Structure 1
Amino acid sequence: MGDLPPPWGWRRVVWSLLYTVQFKPVWDDDLVRWRAGGLVLEPFGGFTREEEHEALREALDSGERLLDLLPDPPVPHDEQDIRDFLRRVLEHMDLLRPWPELPFLVMRHDPSPDLGDFRAIARLHLDGQEAAHRLHGAFYGFAGGGSWQPMRLNSGDEVALVEPWWQGSRDVAVLARPRPGRAPEDVLAAFLHVTGFVPEEIDDLTDGLNAASRGGAGSGWLAYLLRLENSIATLAGEEPVRVSRSTYEAFLRTRLYCQATESPGVVAVGPPGAGLVPAFTLPEALAAFAAAGKDETEPRFFSATGKDLLDLIPEGYGVLVDPGTAYATAFAAGGPG
Structure 2
Amino acid sequence: MRSHDHRLIGAAKNIPVNPQTPVFSFSPIVLPFSDRPLDLDLKVTAPSTGDALPIILLSHGQGLSNNLNSLEGYTPLAEFWAAHGFVVIQPTHLSSLSITVDAPPKGNEYYWKDRAQDLVRILDNIDTIEAAVPGLKGRLDKTKVAVAGHSLGSWTANLVLGAKNVDPRDGSVFEKFDKRIKVGVVLAGTGNAGSDLSDNGRIMVPFYSADFSEMKTPALVVCGDQDVSPHLTTRGADWHADCYYLSPGPKDLLWIKGAKHGLGGVSGWDAAETQDESPQLLATVQRMTLAYLRSALYGDKSWDEARGALKQLDELGAVESKE
Q: So what's the TM-score if we normalise by structure 2?
A: 0.30
**Structure 1 length-normalised TM:** 0.29
Return the structure number with greater relative CO, CA threshold 8 A, min gap 6: 2
